[in-house]
Amino acid sequence: MPSRSPFDPTRRRFVQGLAAGGLVVGAGDSALANGTPLATSTVPVLTGTDFALSIGASFANYTGRVRPAVAVNGSLPAPTLRMREGDTVTLRVSNALPAHGAHGNLTSIHWHGILLPANMDGVPGMSFDGIRPGESYLYRFTLKQSGTYWYHSHSGFQEQAGLYGALIVDPREPEPHRYQRDYVVMLSDWTDLSGDALFARLKKMAMHDNVYQRTVGDFLRDAKRDGLDATLRDRKAWGAMRMTPTDLSDVNARTYTYLMNGKTAAGNWTGLFAPGERVRLRVINAAAMTYFDVRIPGLKLTVIAADGQPVHPTTVDEFRIAPAETYDLLVEPRGQDAFTVFAQDMGRTGYVSGTLAVREGLRAPVPAIDPRPLLTMADMGHGGMNHSGTDHSSMDHSQMNHADMGHGQSASKGMEGGCGANMGKGGEGGCGAKMRGSDASGHSIDRNPLVDMRTMAPTPKLDDPGIGLRDNGRRALRYVDLHSAFDDPDGREPGREIELHLTGHMEKFAWSFDGLKFADAAPLRLNYGERLRIVLVNDTMMTHPIHLHGLWSDVENERGEFMLRKHTVDMPPGSRRSYRVRADALGRWAYHCHLLYHMESGMMREVRVDE
């Protein structure tokens, strides 16, 4: 008798999805006939100090096709976990995946942004060995913080397939904010492709989803506005770099269906309110590859926390949220019965929406997607041009000599390997010396086949809301608007500095730190208890959310002063941002871009904190 697929719907639980706005029951009927209960379409909430989580193969239908998924306790997204600051929690995670399949179906859970011992962090090969099929792992740690966080798999592409959920830690002491409703708004991206298939397509054809190329009509319009010479130089510059200004994201709505709390826009996730109530929204970006711009037309959004940490309240009309970031908002819906929660992708190719309403079934008008923005040379750190035009008359980018560009001007002295044990020779030059030439093994960024460009004039861009959000008539959140509601928890000046460049090659879909893939890079070594500064320079044309496990990232302003505590620091193209780190957690920690396929292709390092 032939063996059945591990994703045979007659053998596995089916996660209800939404296709064309309706519940799909076809595969569910088979599951019911075999005694397997259907998963609820409402995300369960688990509370307390003891949790049992079972990771299993499931099914979902968001596009009209029944596709394999990975669920926790039969739910996609995974159940929301609600804990309390100061409690010691126990989470028994069981692997109910079939023994065969991609990556051997080893599984794991990483508790994103939670401070805990290294062996509880959930990164196979670094924190622990992973969880084999039929086995379980006991996570136990004491909660040292409160706020909005999330959890997800750190194995293969399981996160893309549905293994992610919200993690809320309630504070032990009363909060300064009062509200009557409290909702998680978890944004994510779904694809009918397997993670392996999508990654293979990106490696072979990275531009697959970027169909929005400039046309002859665009050329004629630009030439009329900016002049023929400037327009020719602009096109020549982009051609010389083998890039396109329309390439804002590697994967967009041509491939992805966007979800809000596991529902499509047609599914209309709804959060109820009564007139006069204040509502707290805990917005989590659990997407694998998608930046979302979020707004609620008709309502002001008061941001009260970023990445779980309280900030001085700031009121905006919309905000951009990078993958892995979280923002807590307060809104006061009044004057109408329904408001649309609208999240469009950064490239303006698609959206997902939900509703705040006084009763189920109501909807408000859904706004049109904004016009698609174009990258400029200024966006990419090549200076001299404004954000709105294409006047590149002051630069001939085709003559760029990337090898002679000045980088690493703030490289630290005496770094003991600095950016890693494989950093450059040259005594005190540290990372900066390496950026101009080769490291100890002869490795060079400037002539590296995995690096297709270098930024010329990187800036912090803390006051820039980002491409597509400038001058659109709405007030958009900027990093400079965010200030932690507490002083620098450490207070010391950094004793040394590490500079890392975010590098990549668009056509090869190769991503890295300093031109070195994860497999080729030595760990970054930190000394237990030290205070150091990490400087990131984004040499690529893509935006990267960088996540350091186990340690806080205390973002600095342009004067080097403490500004904002985060666990994920967003890095726009052409940006240079710095943050302080206190190495107060021993062990091996992952450090990576939180765009799943960028991490998988090499933009990851190991950080070791040793005594």
Give 213's pLDDT tier (boundaries 50, 70, 90): low
**Which residue intervals of 285-356 are DSSP H helices?**
none
pLDDT at residue 10 is higher than 90: no
Cα 77 to Cα 165: distance, rounded to the nearest angstrom: 5
**Which residue intervals of 363-482 are DSSP H helices?**
430-436
Burial of residue 128 (number of CB atoms within 10 Å: 0-12, 13-18, 19+): middle
Give the type of residue at 14.
F
Among candidate residues 496, 498, 501, 497, the one with its CA nearest the CA of residue 405:
501
Give 382's pLDDT tier (boundaries 50, 70, 90): low
Average pLDDT over residues 336-343: 98
pLDDT at 391: 31
pLDDT at 533: 98
pLDDT at residue 416 is higher than 50: no
pLDDT at residue 588 is higher than 90: yes
Cα 30 to Cα 590: distance, rounded to the nearest angstrom: 41
pLDDT at 248: 77
Mean pLDDT for the chain? 82
Average pLDDT over residues 469-494: 96
The whole-model pTM stands at 0.83
User: CB-hemisphere CA count at 13 Å for 163?
Assistant: 29
What is the tens place of the pLDDT at every residue in 295-327? Answer: 999 999 999 999 999 999 999 999 999 999 999
Average pLDDT over residues 569-588: 97
CA distances from 94 to 136, 163, 316, 476 (A): 4, 13, 42, 42
pLDDT at 189: 98
pLDDT at 251: 94
Greater confidence (401 vs 251) lies with 251
Give the type of residue at 192.
D
What is the tens place of the pLDDT at every residue in 263-300? Answer: 999 999 999 999 999 999 999 999 999 999 999 999 99
Cα 79 to Cα 361: distance, rounded to the nearest angstrom: 24
pLDDT at 506: 82
Q: Which two tokens stand for residue 582?
A: 């206190």
pLDDT at residue 432 is higher than 80: no
Cα 221 to Cα 214: distance, rounded to the nearest angstrom: 11
Cα 21 to Cα 379: distance, rounded to the nearest angstrom: 38
159-168, 376-385, 452-461, 515-524 — which is least confidently predicted? 376-385
Give 554's pLDDT tier (boundaries 50, 70, 90): very high
What is the tens place of the pLDDT at every residue in 46-95? Answer: 999 999 999 999 999 999 999 999 999 999 999 999 999 999 999 999 99
pLDDT at 366: 98
pLDDT at residue 376 is higher than 80: no
Give the type of residue at 200.
A
Q: What percent of the chain has pLDDT over 90?
A: 69
Q: Which domains does the chain have, with CATH numbers?
A: 13-174 (2.60.40.420), 176-210+246-372 (2.60.40.420), 406-610 (2.60.40.420)
